[in-house]
Amino acid sequence: MRPLLSILIFLTLFGVARCQLRVTVAPLLSYTIPNSSEWSYISDIGGGLTLSIHRPIRWYASTASDSLTLLRKFDMGLQFGASFSPHAIAGQRFSLAPFINQPLFEKGRHSLMLVMQFGLSAYTRPFRLTADTANVFIGSYVNCHIETGAIYRFTLADSSALSFSTTLAHSSNGYLLRPNKGLNYLHFSIGYTLPPQFTGHRSPVTGHRSQVTGHRSRYFDLFASYAPGIVMPRFTGAAQKYYYAHTARLGTLYRFSPKRAAGFDLELTYNYSHDELIAYHHDPYPLPFYGAIAGAYEATYHRLSLHLALAAYVLHGAVAYTPVYERVGLFYNIGNQGKRLRQFVGVSLKSHMAHIDFIEWHYGIFFRVNRDP
């Protein structure tokens, strides 16, 4: 997890260097939401502060008639956050995360943006250092940090801005260390963005050079991938500390712009951690195979793609956790979109209602269906 974050931070800092920089300071109010309803007494109210360094990015399609203007704009940056709660069961929390803010609506000085963050969080008193046996939520100093929500921004006359945001953040260690149920936080914040600071020699209007794609803006990709994963079992009687899971995916993505795509895929997973669970429950379904249909969305930024998916099981045993699951991943594309056949690698988190199931590493290929004339 930490090497991945180091790469993300390096790419983020490289992206914000020598361009139009923005700095946002935002005090926040947080409310702790445990993943399990039986632990509702742990809910706590706290406060904190976030500091963000970011840049606006604009790219342009090869055709002037492209009407998807909002999809050609986003903010990219790095955010540091600190939150404090008087009864925080795992101690106080700090986070560091690269982020992307995607506009959903813009009119004049008003804008509404989607927030997407993936990074790390750290706790001052994790379970291993406390005698509190009720702390089953966080079992390590360093954990993953995922945050999503919405920001309303009002731009002032001097190009500074006021922002109002509501986000949901999740912290857990992905079942790599016990205990781990994870903690969720509901954040409300009011921020102030300083006027832009220009560095380097790039255009202060666009923040970077225009992109010429040289290929169609809309086309289909067929893809196939294989993803091994490491699973920490939830079954208390498990004989091993770690197990493996293997997932195969086959699907299609419709790229309705050079940077955005949506589609679906079929998924088949074999989870070795469920062998003992099936035997314990006398599940009439004898094999830990899980099949699902997933809807996916990808936002591509140069060679990096943010992959979001929501899937529903069509094949599973009686002990399946929930009928649906989510996947959040970051993929690196090997080869440009102009090629008919190209590869990708990446890492993702599979979760059930924000409760992480396991981490998986992907290797796959894209096959472009239609070629340029």
What is the token pair recorded at 124?
Answer: 């001052």
**Considering 198, 232, 253, which residue would you say is the last residue of a domain?**
198
Peptide bond into 288 cis (omega under 30): no
Cα angle vertex 234, ends 284, 306, to 5°? Answer: 105
Domain end position, chosen among 198, 231, 246: 198
Q: Is residue 291 part of a domain?
A: yes
Neighbours of 16 (CB within 10 A): 22
Residue 207 resides in a domain: no
Q: In terms of domains, do 230 and 191 share one?
A: no
Q: How far is CA 361 from CA 1, 79, 164, 211, 330, in A?
A: 12, 25, 36, 30, 10
Same-domain pairing of 61 and 141: yes
Domain boundary among 145, 168, 198: 198
Q: Taking Cα atoms as reference points, which of 294, 295, 217 lies closest to residue 255?
A: 217
The answer on 262 and 184 residing in a single domain is no
In CATH, what number is assigned to the domain containing residue 245?
Answer: 2.40.160
Q: Would you give the DSSP letter of residue 128?
A: G
> Does 339 map to a domain?
yes
Q: Provide the number of structural domains found in the chain.
A: 2
pLDDT at 142: 82
10-residue averages of pLDDT along the chain (373 residues): 51 50 88 67 79 74 49 80 82 88 88 90 72 63 88 89 92 68 87 70 39 56 90 70 87 86 92 74 72 91 86 77 85 78 88 80 86 47
Q: Of 121, 119, 138, 142, which is closest to residue 349 (Cα–Cα)?
A: 119
Same domain for 166 and 231, yes or no, is no
**Pairing outcome for strands 324-334 and 183-193:** unpaired
User: Torsions phi, psi of 89, nearest 5?
Assistant: -70, -25
pLDDT for the residue 163: 93
Residue 349 lies in a domain: yes
- Does residue 235 form part of some domain? yes
pLDDT of 190 reads 92
Q: Domain check: are 194 and 226 in the same one?
A: no
Q: What is the pLDDT of residue 202?
A: 42
Q: CATH number for the domain including 159?
A: 2.40.160.20
Q: Are residues 194 and 224 in the same domain?
A: no
Verify that 165 and 239 share a domain, yes or no. no
pLDDT at 373: 42
Within-domain flag for 204: no
Query: Residue 336 domain-assigned?
Result: yes
Q: Are residues 193 and 225 in the same domain?
A: no
Tell me, what's the pLDDT at 105? Answer: 86
Q: Do 46 and 177 share a domain, yes or no?
A: yes
Do 167 and 311 lie in a common domain? no
Residue 348 has phi, psi (to 5 degrees) of -150, 165
Q: Does residue 206 sit within a domain?
A: no
Which pLDDT score, from 0 to 100, does residue 17 have? 47
Supply the range of the domain harboring residue 333.
219-368
Residues 351 and 244 in one domain: yes
Is residue 240 located within the same domain as residue 362? yes
